[in-house]
Chains A and B, each alone.
Chain A
Amino acid sequence: MIAAYLVLLIPFVGIVFFAVSGHKSDTGKLNVRFNAACLAATIWLAINVLNQGTILSSGKAFLIDPFNVYLIVLTAFVGLTTSIFSSPYMAHEKELGKLNDKRLRLYYSMYQGFMLAMYLVLTTNNMGVMWVAMEGATLATVMLVSLYRTPESIEAAWKYFILCGVGIAQALFGTILLYYAAAQIGDAENSLMWSVLYENASKLNPEILEIAFVFMLIGYGTKIGLVPLHNWLPDAHSEGPTPMSAVLSGLLLNDALYAVVRNKMLVDGASHSNMAGHLMMGFGMLSFLVAAFFLHRQKDIKRLFSYSSIEHMGIMTFAFGIGGPLATFAALLHMTVHSLTKSAIFVTVGHAAQVAGTQSIDRIRGLIRTQPRIGWGLLIGSIAIAGFPPFGVFTSEFLVLLATMHSYPWLTPLLLLGIGIAFAGLFRHIQPMVYGEKPEGQLPVKANLWPVIIHLGLVLWLGLAIPGFLANWFSQATLLISGSTPL
Chain B
Amino acid sequence: MNIEQTDFYTQAILSMAALIGLMSFLMLGQGRLLRLIFVFALQGFLLTLTTALAAYSLQNPHLYISAVLTLVLKVIFIPWMLRREVIQMNTHRDIEALHNKTLVMLAGASLMVFSYYVLHPIVQTTSPVMLNALAVSLSVVLLGMLLMISHRQAVAHVVGFMSIENGLFFAAIVATKGMPMVVELGVAFDVLVAAVLFGIFFFHIRTSIDSLDVDLLSKLHEVDK
Contacts and interface: CB of A to CB of B under 8 A. Distances in A.
A166 B164 contact: yes
Contact of A143 (B148, B180, B197): B197
Contacts of A235: 220
A93 to B, nearest CB: 19
A169 B180 contact: no
B168 A179 contact: no
Given A173-B171, A297-B222, A149 B204 contact: yes
B99 interface: no
Contact of B219 (A151, A162, A294): A151
B68 interface: no
Given A132-B187, A165-B161, A146 B204 contact: yes
A183 B214 CA distance: 42
A155 B217 contact: yes
Interface stretch (B21-29, B83-91, B106-114, B119-127): B119-127
A192 interface: yes
A192 B182 CA distance: 11
Nearest to B214: A158
Contact of B190 (A136, A183, A297): A136
A126 B205 contact: no
Interface string B157-176: 10001001101100110011
A139 B187 contact: no
A161 interface: yes
Contacts of B182: 126, 128-129
A176 B119 CA distance: 13
Contacts of B121: 207-208, 211
B209 interface: yes
B180 A294 contact: no
Interface string B175-193: 1110110110011011001
B175 A152 contact: no
Given A139-B194, A155-B219, A176-B172, A188 B138 contact: no
Contacts, number: 135
B165 to A, nearest CB: 7
Given A139-B194, A161-B201, A235-B220, A211 B179 contact: no
A176 B122 contact: no
Contacts of B154: 158
Where chain A touches its partner, the secondary structure class is helix
Interface string A146-182: 1001111011111101100110011011001101100
Contacts of B220: 152, 155-156, 159, 235, 239
Contacts of A159: 217, 220
Interface residues of A, number: 49
A150 B219 CA distance: 11
B179 A192 contact: yes
Contact of A192 (B124, B168, B180): B180
A146 B209 CA distance: 14
A265 interface: no
A133 B183 CA distance: 10
Contact of A142 (B126, B172, B180, B197): B197
A311 interface: no
Please tell me the size bucket of the interface on B. Answer: 35 or more
Residue from B172, B180, B223 having most chain A Cβ neighbours under 10 A: B180
Given A128-B180, A128-B182, A166-B164, A208 B125 contact: yes
A132 B189 contact: yes
B223 A297 contact: yes
Nearest to A206: B121
Contacts of B167: 173
Interface string B136-167: 01100100110010000010010001001101
B76 interface: no
B176 A176 contact: yes
Residue from A136, A179, A188, A299 having most chain B Cβ neighbours under 10 A: A179
A207 B131 CA distance: 13
Nearest to B204: A154
B180 to A, nearest CB: 6
B121 to A, nearest CB: 4
B208 interface: yes
B125 A184 contact: yes
B189 A151 contact: no
B205 A154 contact: yes
A135 interface: yes
Given A139-B193, A158-B214, A158-B217, A207 B180 contact: no
Contact of A126 (B119, B183, B214): B183
Interface of A: 126, 128-129, 131-133, 135-136, 139, 142-143, 146, 149-152, 154-159, 161-162, 165-166, 169-170, 172-173, 176-177, 179-180, 183-184, 188-189, 191-192, 205, 207-208, 211, 235, 239, 294, 297, 299
Given A128-B179, A128-B187, A132-B189, 12 more contacts: A126-B183, A132-B187, A154-B201, A157-B201, A158-B154, A161-B197, A162-B161, A170-B141, A173-B137, A176-B168, A211-B118, A211-B119
18 contacts: A131-B183, A139-B193, A150-B208, A156-B220, A157-B201, A166-B145, A166-B161, A169-B164, A173-B138, A177-B134, A179-B175, A179-B179, A180-B176, A183-B176, A189-B180, A211-B118, A297-B222, A297-B223
Interface of B: 118-119, 121-122, 124-126, 134, 137-138, 141, 144-145, 148, 154, 157, 161, 164-165, 167-168, 171-172, 175-177, 179-180, 182-183, 186-187, 189-190, 193-194, 197-198, 200-201, 204-205, 208-209, 214, 217-220, 222-224
